[in-house]
Amino acid sequence: MVAVADDRSFEPPEVRCLNDHTIPLIKTTIPAKKLVDDAWVQCKPELDEWMKLQESLPEEMKQNMRRQLYDFYIRMIEKRRQFEARQPA
């Protein structure tokens, strides 16, 4: 079996959804926070399902994990934009 770079079968549903609703829009001028907020709304069913898998965890830990995922997407968009801006035209 050969793995290819664009094989997304390894992504959990919440990550696939968030990627689908953020990555294609990285090159736009939409603020990163707005992109992630909009993706969060679009991906609510997947994110809720992800949280159900963690029901046995302490509430603080669950909220921290969700916040880290949210912050990660904002940082990812901002870093990618910074990188793109430094590339020669």
Provide the residue-wise pLDDT of the chain in tens; the chain has 89 residues: 444 456 666 789 999 999 999 999 999 999 999 999 999 999 999 999 998 988 999 999 999 999 999 999 999 999 999 998 888 86
In a domain, 81, yes or no: yes
Give dist(CA 19, CA 8) in Å, integer.
10
8 found inside a domain: no
13 assigned to some structural domain: no
Instruction: Look at residue 65 and tell me if it is in a domain.
Output: yes
From 84, 81, 65, select the one nearest 33 (Cα to Cα): 81
Residue 49 lies in a domain: yes
Q: Which residues constitute the domain of residue 47?
A: 28-86
In a domain, 34, yes or no: yes
Specify the number of domains making up the chain: 1
In order of 45, 70, 77, 88, the CA distances from 49 in angstroms are 6, 16, 24, 42
Domain assignment present for residue 51? The answer is yes
| Residue closest to 43 by CA, chosen among 65, 26, 18 | 18
In total, the chain counts a number of residues equal to 89
In a domain, 82, yes or no: yes
pLDDT at res. 1: 46
